Amino acid sequence: MMAQYLEIKSAYPDCLLFYRMGDFYELFFEDAEVASRVLSIALTKRGKHQGNDIPMCGVPVDRADDYLLRLIAAEQRVAVCEQVEDPAEAKKRGPKSVVRREVIRLVTPGTITEERLLEPGQANLFLTIARRKQADESWMYGLAAVDISTGRFVLAESDQANLAAAIARLEPREIVLPEQIYYDEELLGFWREIRTSVTPLAGSGFESSSAEQRLRDYYNVASLDAFGSFSRPEIAAAGIALFYIEKTQFDDKPVLLPPIAEANGTTLSIDAATRANLELTRTLSGERNGSLLATIDRTQTPGGTRLLAEWLAGPLMEPTRIHRRQDAVAFFVENTPLRDNIRAVLKKIPDISRALSRLGLGRSGPRDLAALRDGLFAARELSGLLDRQQGELPQALTSIIRTITSLDTSVADELAALLDDELPLLKRDGGFIRPGAIPELDETRELQQDSRRFIASLQAQYATELDCRTLRIKHNNMLGYYIEVPQNVGQEMFQNQREKYVHRQTMSDAMRFTTVELGELEAKIASASDRALRIELGIFDRLCNTIVGQSRDIAATAAALAAADVFAGLAELAVELAWVRPHVDESLAFHIEGGRHPVVEAALRRDGKSFIANGCDLSSPETSSNPGGQILLITGPNMGGKSTYLRQNALIAILAQMGAFVPATEARIGIVDRLFSRVGAADDLARGRSTFMVEMVETAAILNQATARSLVILDEIGRGTSTFDGLSIAWAAIENLHEINRCRSLFATHFHELTVLSEKLSRLENATLKVTEWKGEVVFLHEVTSGAADRSYGLQVARLAGLPTAVINRAKVILAELERSDREQPKRAIIDDLPLFAMAQAQTRVPEVTEIPEPKDDPLRKALEDIDPDSMTPREALEALYLLKNKAQ
């Protein structure tokens, strides 16, 4: 047996081998040590290999999914090795013959399909990457994203500069690529540092020509033209995806929709850092709760939730497509009764896409058939509700009706007639066909029931015959049916009636026997049970084949239902929270009135508080001969709401371009091609980057890539280094945004010196967050107004945070001295001498900076030091207080 294990394991060295032995999957050697550690299960030993004990551990087959989930979460790959031969057949070759076993499947993070291993509302993509050299010697990368659990198959292209952003948008669970790309010196660091499982494939044969043939064979078509136009890198990536499916699924062929190519420039580009900063689908701690996705999700189906996440990850850049989505949302906003009825129907729909995938892979059960039945019935009902509407429907909704009505749903009627109300999880358990549906099956089941009644009758007969009230006829997998009696009765039977009652087993307090008629009855029951199961399995396979034959139409219907769910959910959100339809066009406008941060507002609403709305205008002047977006330079107190204001405007742009309504009273947004965000402080010590280094890397990416159509939000640039270094970097970055990038920008800072730039930069305006003081307490008003802040209230925030009083008081003294020194030697002259960015590029002069002088002696402090409060009378203390007051004045 171990020889067989080692032979199989040698073919899968990078996987943990689940080696089937009876009711357990066993692991040996290093696999056992890894699994024992990850799964927290006992590590034992069995036999020896080359003189050493063989480590061993195992998991029950019926609980394997739970353990697979934990192994996949630990980024392990598992090869499932099953017994593919009946043990009785193996014995025919000799008493010591080993049952034949084969690996039937590889389980990897991107190829799981089991319902219990998947997040219902989250896609489970694996991404394959290929590349092809262009005429200018640069590389163009092809990407193929496949979700085996739903059949989604998307192709895209990217150059090397945007590869990371393209991967971040798709959020794959696993990346698969040829070794040549993995070991490319320019990319090797990226693959090793990326927070996704990366699988390099050895060998060649991944060129586009062989990939095209693989695609044609998979879909059984003579040409790919019917699916659209694909580039060579895209075809090569698609071929690698199909190769990987064959490698991991073996003979099982998942139901995949035809590949869809996403053209370059059709979605808003958002890099990985910006996605993380804005917490689009996950918070910075990795949680879904608290993200924008969780806040706006009002969908009723798993498919709808996945589609909403897909739209949020890739907002559109074509106003026409955005308007189609907005029209559908607006239709549901205006038709509340219909929206309520549609959502009630959607709530009944199971996860059709994943049930269909399991049917195609042969991993399905009766409940998957029921999911298809219920989903198709709901689709028919939803289509009827939309079709009965008076007036013209939006184009997106008429497309949904067409898709659903083109599907032959007669299989749903057949499923309803055949499937029982209560269904087992596994088809091998039988009992899922409704009584009365199949006469032949009913006859076989009746025979089973009669046989069981006969066993009860036989038990009563034996009990009377042997005068033993405690006699029982029982069953187990080893002995089959047997008679169990107490020890004293068994001894008498063994001595006096051994011809009729054949001894089988002796227990500590009982004995077990069988009879000829009991054996014959057992054979009859087993035969009836096997026959009934064969009938049911035959019906199951026939239904599966019928459904898989319609898989493309059913998958399209599932996609249509998901779209209807998203439209209705976004409408529900808009009505619930009073969101408005934004005007999206090709201009460079960015005008928001009454804008709100959707996530923060939701948190405040839960606490019974309201959100202070603020407007924002970054629009490029339409009459300008030198167009470019506005830059809003925001100063204000710590805790005043600057970061919230920055993020809310970026989120409004994303929501608008994904086709949703937005949290504002009015919004006009010109298409944004790239969204950049540098908000918050974080280090990356694993890559040797300090907080400031991470800040500079992200800022560099923004300044190097932002275009006039981009939206940039920057927070506290330059605060991670010395005052003058940071000020100079922030200054130069603003000038670059104004003169070179010319994009719409929000720039928050505590460098108040930067506010004078509004006098030199025509498209820069100052804004501040209002604050007031009441009885010595700072009150944040969270209202954005024009102008510049005169202070940051850092000491007040420090006091609120709990810094010791002595530290706060000392800081006040130091701050007063620094402010006095700054008044005596203002830096305004230096600022006036600095040329603009465009002029400064031709100059090398570095402005002089006057150092802050040492603070002078403080007579008030000296007087305080001379006071000894422990030796003073109350009158002397009062006189000393008046003296100090006079000195302060």
Question: Is 643 one of the annotated binding-site residues?
Answer: yes
User: 3-state SS string over 554-595?
Assistant: HHHHHHHHHHHHHHHHHHHHHHHHCCECCEEECCCCEEEEEE
Q: Which CATH superfamily is domain 116-264 in?
A: MutS, connector domain (3.30.420.110)
Q: pLDDT tens for residues 203-219?
A: 765 777 788 889 999 99
Q: pLDDT tens for residues 753-790?
A: 889 899 889 899 999 988 777 766 777 788 898 888 76
With bands split at pLDDT 50, 70 and 90, how would you rate the model's confidence at 626? low
- The hierarchical CATH code for the domain 578-802 is 3.40.50.300
Taking each continuous run of H as one helix and of E as one strand, the counts in the chain are 32, 27
Q: Could you tell me the pTM of the whole model?
A: 0.81
Beta carbons of 702 and 712 less than 8 angstroms apart:
yes
Mean pLDDT of the 247-265 span: 86
Beta carbons of 147 and 174 less than 8 angstroms apart:
no
Does residue 323 register a pLDDT over 90?
A: yes
pLDDT score, position 175: 94
Does residue 674 register a pLDDT over 60?
A: yes
Question: Is 121 one of the annotated binding-site residues?
Answer: no
Does residue 85 register a pLDDT over 80?
A: yes
Q: Which residue has the higher pLDDT, 456 or 839?
A: 456
Mean pLDDT of the 369-373 span: 94
Would you identify the CATH topology of the domain 2-107? MutS, DNA mismatch repair protein, domain I (3.40.1170)
Q: What are 655's two structure tokens?
A: 């929501």
Domain borders along the chain are: 2-107, 116-264, 297-408+550-575, 439-524, 578-802, 859-888
Closest CA to 235 of 162, 142, 132, 152: 142
Question: Is 203 one of the annotated binding-site residues?
Answer: no
pLDDT score, position 457: 87
Question: Is 430 one of the annotated binding-site residues?
Answer: no
Question: Is 58 one of the annotated binding-site residues?
Answer: no
Does residue 552 register a pLDDT over 60?
A: yes
pLDDT score, position 271: 87
pLDDT score, position 851: 45
Measured between alpha carbons, how far is 602 from 588 in angstroms, rounded to an integer? 30
Mean pLDDT of the 691-713 span: 88
Angle at 645 between CA 639 and CA 651, to 5 degrees: 135
Q: pLDDT tens for residues 559-578?
A: 999 999 999 999 999 999 99
pLDDT score, position 224: 87
Q: Which residue has the higher pLDDT, 698 or 691?
A: 698
Architecture of the domain delimited by 439-524: Orthogonal Bundle (1.10)
pLDDT score, position 848: 43
pLDDT score, position 842: 43
Q: What is the dihedral of CA 371, 374, 375, 377, to 10 degrees?
A: 160
Q: Which residue has the higher pLDDT, 392 or 684?
A: 392
Does residue 699 register a pLDDT over 70?
A: yes
Would you identify the CATH topology of the domain 297-408+550-575? MutS, DNA mismatch repair protein; Chain A, domain 3 (1.10.1420)
Question: Is 710 one of the annotated binding-site residues?
Answer: no
Domain 297-408+550-575 identical in fold to domain 439-524? yes
With bands split at pLDDT 50, 70 and 90, how would you rate the model's confidence at 444? confident
Mean pLDDT of the 250-275 span: 87
Question: Is 315 one of the annotated binding-site residues?
Answer: no
Question: Is 638 one of the annotated binding-site residues?
Answer: yes
Long-range contacts of the stretch 834-843 (C-beta < 8 A, 24+): 834/731, 836/735, 836/739, 836/760, 836/761, 837/732, 837/735, 837/736, 837/738, 837/739, 837/740, 838/735, 838/739, 840/732, 840/735
pLDDT score, position 640: 78
Beta carbons of 127 and 174 less than 8 angstroms apart:
yes
pLDDT score, position 89: 81
pLDDT score, position 850: 40
